[in-house]
Amino acid sequence: MKKQYCLKAYAFFLMACAVLGVCITVVAQDIPDPHGNFDEINRCRCKENGDVVGCYAGNAISLRPACAKSKDPIVCSNYNSNCTNAGGEDGTTN
């Protein structure tokens, strides 16, 4: 009887862990939208190339500061100067 109780308690503990894990995952995935929107799908990001930070092609979901973004194709290197100041083109990271 005691053994059965222990097994049930253990099963309950494991299930609780699983539920808690799912909840944490859901909470962790609830990320707010980036500044602007995903219409401006062409993004350039400040990245290192050797010892120098420049403006290079990137995507819309990167954590690096954006140096340029547009609905039209962009030549990122034209915006190298946007990478000399921290925070990127519009002061955001997206």
What residues make contact with another protein under the rule CB under 8 A? 4, 7-8, 10-11, 14-15, 28-31, 33-34, 37-39, 41-43, 45, 47-52, 54, 56-64, 73, 75-77, 93-94
**Nearest of 74, 37, 50, 10 to residue 82 by alpha carbon:** 74
How near is the Cβ of 38 to another protein at its closest, in Å?
4
Distance in Å, CB of 47 to another protein, minimum: 5
Q: What φ, ψ does residue 28 adopt, rounded to 5°?
A: -65, -30
Kindly state the DSSP code that residue 26 receives in the 8-state scheme: H
- Which residues make beta-bridge pairs with 43? 58, 69
Nearest distance in Å: CB 68, another protein: 11
